[in-house]
Structure 1
């Protein structure tokens, strides 16, 4: 339940950060839409409701346990492992818009080039893809975050435990992956997503306040499995680290943030 609430809060946070835009590419009336890694289904549901004449397909390895009773008829949710080829199970040259968000913890490192090429093939000529990923390294705008902080131990531990077959830095590479796949008109925007209300910009201060709860829950959500299974920590060790990291995150002097990249590109006609 905690993870479900975190994903809902995260979706609402992004809606506010993006000025209520569900996507950035210049797509006026998308008819066929695919979301890769839909989580709780918030983005796909919003798209289906906002574009009632569209057909929205959402895929994820671990489907949401339930969607609203009034789930729109133009939304289909399906089980799929994104580490497996999307083509031919999903038809090439079909989609006006493909959306991929926060799949880095699940996508294998060697799979990324093929994953983006698959998306390119699924797009109709002139269709667009939008990808959103964190760079999972906690950083400090004030420079006061040190190697002794639990937040730094969390970042280093997460990167170490995932680096073997996952890429915590995937958010930095989205544009290059799109270029390598042959997409055109690529644009990237990187936000310093604040953790806490330390920003002097009113909008980002509010985003940071919203993000504090999401960030605290994310520390547990992302670290529990890799720290226990790959670093052989006990549950108590993980809980102690994440508890200390959450306490440190309350210190506004640290001016904490995580980079968040949004990238989009168009399939050539």
Structure 2
């Protein structure tokens, strides 16, 4: 096998694992928020343009498309920085585009979308101010269009067990280290308002993982997701200059697995959505 073939096989295997993790979490979140869309978007209107930023393989888009059967179908566009995630060939009326939230969006996309959806993607902003990323999303929606965001919140008091509390502590450290800040999810409503959007609303959701989830199969998927996340987080922390990961932290995947199976854990997600002004005069950075 050539080196190129070996690399492609490795990337495919890595992608399959990451997409499985994302699919598990997508199913969990969709269950707890009661569907796919929170913003009051009228999906019965024909020929809408819908964007999913940070789409991975477009699972959210594909499910939305399957659940919305109208005579004049919508146009669904998914963006991500990893082109290898995109399905090929793409389903009908689904289009994929390589795009980072930290980079300017195509000029001809400005003011063209009826609905922009983005979930668990803002940490990818890194050193770029998340306010800039949100303002750029607001620029994409037409007058009357909606922007919806959802992120994980690690700022509240926790009733979880010691392993899950350590997970929360490390996630907060991770978010601070990459420059987003661990309180960023609490700022979603103000970020949308500062981008010039109106009718801003927000809602918190408690997501149950492992034994805390009444649905055993869904709880097991939650365990798989959190363990994969903890392994990736530890790899990041170990890579920091001068960082010595001690025994308690290095054993986190093992102790978290045991705790999730015995008592489970609960974490909070915050969603916020806002509407572009009818005159289109939003505030953009």
Q: Is TM-score (shorter-chain normalized) higher than 0.5?
A: yes
Contact 1:32 1:54 in 2 (8 A): yes
Q: Please show how residues 103-114 of structure 1 align to structure 2 within 5 Å.
A: 103-108=121-126, 110-114=128-132
Q: Structure 2 residue aligned with 1:65, among 79, 85, 89?
A: 85
Residues 163 and 140 of structure 1, relative CA distance in 2, 3 Å threshold: closer
Q: Structure 1 residue aligned with 2:39, among 25, 29, 37?
A: 25
Number of positions where the alignment pairs a residue of Structure 1 with one of Structure 2:
256
Residues 139 and 211 of structure 1, relative CA distance in 2, 3 Å threshold: farther
Which residue number corresponds to residue 96 of structure 1?
114
Note if 1:189 corresponds to 2:203: yes
Contact 1:87 1:118 in 2 (8 A): no
Note if 1:34 corresponds to 2:43: no
Which residue number corresponds to residue 242 of structure 1?
253
Offset from partner CA, 1:140-193 (integer Å, 9 cap, x none): 33xx64xxx343333333322431412333221111111111111111110121
Which residue number corresponds to residue 225 of structure 1?
236
Scaled by the length of structure 2, the TM-score of the pair is 0.77
Scaled by the length of structure 1, the TM-score of the pair is 0.82
The more displaced of 126-135 and 186-195 is 186-195
CA distance in 2, matches of 1:230, 1:100: 32
The structure in which a higher percent of residues are helix is 2
Q: Please show how residues 1-269 of structure 1 align to structure 2 within 5 Å.
A: 1-19=16-34, 21-28=35-42, 29=45, 31-51=48-68, 53-67=73-87, 69=89, 71-86=90-105, 88=107, 91-108=109-126, 110-136=128-154, 140-141=158-159, 145=161, 149-164=162-177, 165-198=179-212, 208=219, 210-229=221-240, 232-233=243-244, 239-252=250-263, 256-269=265-278
Contact 2:230 2:252 in 1 (8 A): no
Structure 1, gaps ≥5 residues long: none
Greater gyration radius: 2
Residues 25 and 244 of structure 1, relative CA distance in 2, 3 Å threshold: same
Contact 1:197 1:206 in 2 (8 A): no
- Matched residue SS, 1:22: coil
